[in-house]
Each structure stands twice: as structure tokens, then as C-alpha cells.
Structure 1
Amino acid sequence: MKVETAADGSPRIAIFTVAIDGPAAAGKGTISRALAERFGLSHLDTGLLYRATGRRVLRGEPPEQAARSLSSDDLTAGDLRTPQVAQEASRVAAMPTVREALVAFQRSFAQRAGGAVLDGRDIGTVICPEADLKLFVTASDAVRAARRHRELVAAGHDLTLEQVLADLRDRDARDAARDAAPMVAARDALLLDTTELSIDAAVDKAVNAIKQKLEQGRK
């Protein structure tokens, strides 16, 4: 956290970094966006970087080259949420050369003036180990699969709940077991289990955690 003095002499937060990690469909993206809006923070869904890389790999590009040549257009492509891109994103995310190519961008984003919230798999452990606040958002496999299944069906994908559940478990296993930045909760992360927690309640808990950190920084 970096605190500056405003024109009226009051303290003003110049840099405040929130790191949010967790498995797919646990709610970390929704919580991240809500926090960014609530506190005026810049938001980065780091998973989009890997999805965009995976999408380019599926089109025949070498993984490292794909990661190093991403553009803003890649991050807004309409097919980034497909199951095929998600699986490829998980595969390229296990490649050290791909992760290295994307680390600098993520760390630079985390130091944006006014503060930033980043969500992904390794933000609190690798990208921003010194983040002011770390959250690990999780939920049961069944609940996450049901959420993702609803999203995919609404988007027009013909998949069964069983297929989505198997896909999530496959990705979880690969993300947790990879040598390069495995998905684990940072030791000092606040655990948010959204299995039986409404999104509003989860956001409230995260908001209160940020408020406490900000109050500590102003003292």
C-alpha cells in the first residue's frame, strides 16, 4: 500500500493491490468486478490472458509466441469462454515460458495508480506476493459445476452437467499439480467459501476486509 497526502492534507491511497485466487466458477471474477467498482480499482481477469493465449495456440501459434504477442483485441474475443479454449488455457498456463511472458504485464498492472484488483490462480502466491489483501475464493465441485453449466447452456453450448463437472475437476487437478505456479491459497489469504454463501454476502465480506486494510493504512 502506498499512501499520499491529498491537497486538503488528508491521506489518499495511491496504490492498493488486491489479489484474488481460486478455482473456476467459485465466484472470484464476480467478486473482483464488484470490488473494483465499489472502490474505484482497476480490474484484471488474468485468466483472460491465458484464455487468449490458448485461443491463439488452438489456431496453430506456438504457445510462447502467442503469449508475447497478445493484443487488446485478443482479450475481447467472443469465444474466450468456450470449453475448448478453457482447457487449452489450463494447458498453456502450466508452461513456464508462457507464464514468464505474462508475469511482467500482470505485475505492472498491479501497481496502477489508484489501486488494482487481479483475479486468477497464482496472484497472491506468485504475481503479487506482497499484495495488500489476498482472498482465496472457493466452492464445492457440485456447486461450481452447476454454475458453469448454466453459463454455458445460456451461451448456447450443448453440454451435460456431468461433462462440465468432469472438465472442472480435470482443470483443478492440472492447475493444482503443475510445477509452474500451482493453484494454492496463500498462507495469509482470507478464505471465502461461496458454496452456501450468496454473492452479495461474499462481496460484503470482501468489502469489509478491504475497509479494514485501508483503515490500518491510514493510521
Structure 2
Amino acid sequence: MSDTDIPVITVDGPGGSGKGTITQMLAKKLGWHLLDSGALYRLTALAASRANVALDDEPALVKVAAGLDVAFEPTPPGEPVKVFLAGDDVTAEVRTESCGDDASKVAVIQPVRDALLQRQRDFRIMPGLVADGRDMGTVIFPDAPVKIFLTASAEERAQRRYSQLKDAGVSVSIDALLEEIRARDERDMNRSAAPLKPADDAQVIDSTGLSIEEVLDRCMAAAGQA
């Protein structure tokens, strides 16, 4: 069996659009494997930090990326996927705003992206894969039979993140979050390496004002074509 015979559903979109929750729910409903590709860039940034590698040291970053020892573990609905780096549970660390910002900087470096390309494609195993990211449908799995681009307004994404942090007991300014989200969107959409955009054949789903169940229903309808 060739890789192209293994079905893939790609779920791309900006941070805070609900990709993480939706991909986990889709993977569980379908009984498929899960790839949180964004975590790979966060893990590269975190591993670089642990190894005292500067984010502008391209050769060293490429070495870190190529040698990542990573594993994902599904969690109950509403919780982020568990992420392990060299056996350590680093779920909380890779979800911090600072790590996300570092990951966005790392992701613009093409040699780092090249180093992680095959690692991501290696997740494509039977019975199928649900891949969460920003260039899953455009770069990593361009032959995926179902491509979803999940989005939401910057204001709604900031409010969601604000609520998450508030529930976690973290004090943060919603205005600062909104500014950070807009800045990251601008950087991701205009980067030269795999800019954030829907694949030409992607189904765009705007989750603004929708419940997670409504978004899941729309994605499951799309998944029926896989």
C-alpha cells in the first residue's frame, strides 16, 4: 500500500480557530491518528531553548528539528493533546504564549521546515490521519482527499484565549492578546515559507459565533468525503 492510499484530513487555520479541539474530536470519532503539526515548531523552539540554541542559529536549529523525539497522546474533549519531548510531558510548556511566539519565528526558516517535512509525513499510517496545522493541505499533504480551513475573527480568537487563560488563573489583557494575534496572523500570512492560506480545494469554515458541536458537524460532513 502506498502513502496515497492512506486517507488524510487536513485542518488548517490561524491560532485560536479551534483546530486543536476539532482535530482531536475528528480523530476520535473516526478512529484515526492525530498530528498536531504546530506543536512540532513549538517543540523545536523548546528543545532549542533547552539546548541553549539561539533562534537565529539556523544550522543548529535544523539539527534540533531533525533530532526531535516527539509523541502525541489523545486527551478527553476540551483538553489539549498531550505532547511529549524525549519522554517528558511538556504539554503546558509548549502552549505558553512565549513558546508560540518563538515557534512562529522558527516556522519561517525554510531549512527547519524541510527538516520537519518528512517527520510530519511519517504520521500518515492506517487507518488514516487527521492533521492539524497551517500548511497541511498546501504543503505537507497536498493530495489529501479532504482539506478544511478553519478560521474565526481575531476578536473571537482573542476572547477564547482570554477565557482559557482566565480559567487557568492567568491574568492577561485581552487587548494585548488581540494585538498579539493580529501580529502573528500578519507574520504567518506574509511569510515567504508556506504562508498561511487555504488550499485551493479546501472547504473554509468560519467558526465565529458557532458552538464547537456545530463546527464538528460541519467538519464531519466534510470528512464523509474522505
> Aligned-pair RMSD on alpha carbons?
1.7
Q: How many residues end up aligned between the 2 structures?
A: 201
List alignment gaps of at least 5 residues for structure 2.
Answer: 54-59, 71-83
AA aligned opposite 1:154: D
Number of the residue aligned with 1:125: 138
Cα separation, 2, equivalents of 1:157 and 1:103: 34
TM-score (norm 1): 0.87
1:1-219 correspondence to structure 2 within 5 Å: 15-59=6-50, 60-61=52-53, 62-72=60-70, 73-74=84-85, 76-77=89-90, 78-109=92-123, 111-211=124-224, 213-214=225-226
Deviations 1:111-142 (A, max 9, x none): 21100000100000000000010000000010
List alignment gaps of at least 5 residues for structure 1.
Answer: 3-13, 215-219
Q: Retained in 2: the 8 A contact 1:20–1:136?
A: yes
Deviations 1:53-112 (A, max 9, x none): 111233422321221121133284131111110000000000001100100011121x21
Deviates more, 1:28-37 or 1:153-162: 153-162
Secondary structure of residue in 2 paired with 1:136: strand
Q: Are the structure 2 counterparts of residues 156 and 98 from structure 1 closer, same or farther at C-alpha, using a change threshold of 3 Å?
A: farther
Q: Are the structure 2 counterparts of residues 157 and 98 from structure 1 closer, same or farther at C-alpha, using a change threshold of 3 Å?
A: farther
Deviation at 1:31, TM superposition (A): 0.9
Identical columns (%): 40
Would you identify which runs of 4 or more consecutive aligned residues in structure 1 move more than 6 Å?
none
Deviations 1:158-200 (A, max 9, x none): 3210111111111111111111111110011011100011110
AA aligned opposite 1:24: G
Secondary structure of residue in 2 paired with 1:163: helix
TM-score (norm 2): 0.84
Q: Retained in 2: the 8 A contact 1:23–1:172?
A: yes
Cα separation, 1, equivalents of 2:68 and 2:169: 27
Higher Rg of the two aligned structures: 1
Number of the residue aligned with 1:7: none
